[in-house]
Protein backbone atom coordinates (compact mmCIF):
# COMPACT_ATOMS: atom_id res chain seq x y z
CA UNK A 1 0.00 0.00 0.00
CA UNK A 2 2.91 2.36 0.68
CA UNK A 3 4.21 1.98 -2.88
CA UNK A 4 0.81 2.89 -4.34
CA UNK A 5 0.68 5.96 -2.11
CA UNK A 6 4.15 7.07 -3.18
CA UNK A 7 3.30 6.51 -6.85
CA UNK A 8 0.10 8.54 -6.46
CA UNK A 9 2.03 11.33 -4.77
CA UNK A 10 4.58 11.34 -7.60
CA UNK A 11 1.87 11.53 -10.25
CA UNK A 12 0.10 14.32 -8.36
CA UNK A 13 3.38 16.18 -7.94
CA UNK A 14 4.08 16.05 -11.68
CA UNK A 15 0.53 17.15 -12.49
CA UNK A 16 0.53 20.09 -10.08
CA UNK A 17 4.04 21.10 -11.15
CA UNK A 18 2.90 21.15 -14.78
CA UNK A 19 -0.12 23.29 -13.91
CA UNK A 20 1.96 25.59 -11.71
CA UNK A 21 4.40 26.25 -14.54
CA UNK A 22 2.14 26.17 -17.60
CA UNK A 23 -0.67 28.34 -16.26
CA UNK A 24 1.27 31.58 -15.85
CA UNK A 25 3.80 30.96 -18.63
CA UNK A 26 1.57 29.66 -21.41
CA UNK A 27 -2.03 30.47 -20.51
CA UNK A 28 -1.08 33.85 -19.11
CA UNK A 29 -0.18 34.97 -22.63
CA UNK A 30 -3.90 34.91 -23.42
CA UNK A 31 -4.69 37.75 -21.04
CA UNK A 32 -1.40 39.60 -20.69
CA UNK A 33 0.61 41.39 -23.41
CA UNK A 34 3.11 39.24 -25.28
CA UNK A 35 5.85 41.78 -24.52
CA UNK A 36 6.01 40.49 -20.94
CA UNK A 37 7.11 37.02 -22.06
CA UNK A 38 10.37 35.81 -23.59
CA UNK A 39 10.24 35.18 -27.31
CA UNK A 40 10.70 31.42 -26.97
CA UNK A 41 7.49 31.17 -24.91
CA UNK A 42 5.56 33.29 -27.40
CA UNK A 43 6.94 31.16 -30.24
CA UNK A 44 6.02 27.98 -28.36
CA UNK A 45 2.43 29.11 -27.96
CA UNK A 46 2.10 30.19 -31.59
CA UNK A 47 3.68 26.91 -32.75
CA UNK A 48 1.18 24.98 -30.65
CA UNK A 49 -1.76 26.96 -32.06
CA UNK A 50 -0.71 26.40 -35.67
CA UNK A 51 0.54 22.82 -35.33
CA UNK A 52 -2.56 21.49 -33.59
CA UNK A 53 -5.10 23.91 -35.07
CA UNK A 54 -6.23 25.19 -31.66
CA UNK A 55 -8.47 28.08 -32.64
CA UNK A 56 -9.15 29.00 -29.00
CA UNK A 57 -5.49 29.79 -28.40
CA UNK A 58 -5.09 31.51 -31.76
CA UNK A 59 -8.25 33.63 -31.83
CA UNK A 60 -8.81 34.23 -28.08
CA UNK A 61 -12.62 34.36 -27.95
CA UNK A 62 -14.09 36.17 -24.95
CA UNK A 63 -15.34 33.07 -23.17
CA UNK A 64 -11.88 31.49 -23.42
CA UNK A 65 -10.26 34.58 -21.96
CA UNK A 66 -12.74 34.34 -19.08
CA UNK A 67 -11.83 30.71 -18.50
CA UNK A 68 -8.14 31.58 -18.45
CA UNK A 69 -8.86 34.30 -15.86
CA UNK A 70 -10.65 31.73 -13.71
CA UNK A 71 -7.74 29.34 -14.07
CA UNK A 72 -5.17 31.94 -13.04
CA UNK A 73 -7.21 33.36 -10.17
CA UNK A 74 -8.52 30.14 -8.60
CA UNK A 75 -6.88 27.03 -10.04
CA UNK A 76 -3.26 28.18 -10.21
CA UNK A 77 -2.94 29.25 -6.55
CA UNK A 78 -4.63 26.02 -5.47
CA UNK A 79 -2.10 24.04 -7.53
CA UNK A 80 0.72 25.87 -5.71
CA UNK A 81 -0.90 25.08 -2.36
CA UNK A 82 -1.24 21.42 -3.32
CA UNK A 83 2.42 21.32 -4.37
CA UNK A 84 3.41 22.67 -0.97
CA UNK A 85 1.12 20.18 0.74
CA UNK A 86 2.69 17.29 -1.17
CA UNK A 87 6.25 18.33 -0.45
CA UNK A 88 5.61 19.07 3.23
CA UNK A 89 3.23 16.10 3.77
CA UNK A 90 0.51 18.28 5.20
CA UNK A 91 -2.65 16.62 6.53
CA UNK A 92 -4.93 19.03 4.63
CA UNK A 93 -3.65 17.87 1.23
CA UNK A 94 -6.65 15.59 0.68
CA UNK A 95 -9.01 18.51 1.19
CA UNK A 96 -7.15 20.81 -1.21
CA UNK A 97 -6.95 18.07 -3.85
CA UNK A 98 -10.70 17.54 -3.49
CA UNK A 99 -11.32 21.28 -3.89
CA UNK A 100 -9.03 21.34 -6.95
CA UNK A 101 -10.86 18.43 -8.50
CA UNK A 102 -14.26 19.96 -8.04
State the pLDDT confidence band at 1, using cuts at 50, 70 and 90.
low
Contacts of 24 (CB under 8 A, 6+ apart): 72, 76
**How much of the chain, in percent, has pLDDT values that exceed 70?**
99
Across the range 12-19, mean pLDDT stands at 95
pTM: 0.86
Mean residue pLDDT across the chain: 93
Q: Using CA atoms, how far apart are residues 29 and 31, in angstroms rounded to an integer?
A: 6
What's the full length of the chain, in residues? 102
Question: Residue 72 carries which DSSP code?
Answer: I
CB crowding 48-75: b at 16 or more within 10 Å, else e: ebeeeeeeebeeeeeebeeebeebbeee
Q: What value does the CA radius of gyration of the chain take, rounded to a whole number of Å?
A: 16
39-82 pLDDT, tens digit each:
999 999 999 999 999 999 999 999 999 999 999 999 999 999 99
Amino acid sequence: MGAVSKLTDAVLFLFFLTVALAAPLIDGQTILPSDLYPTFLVDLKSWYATEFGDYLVAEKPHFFVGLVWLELVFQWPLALICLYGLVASKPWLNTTCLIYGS
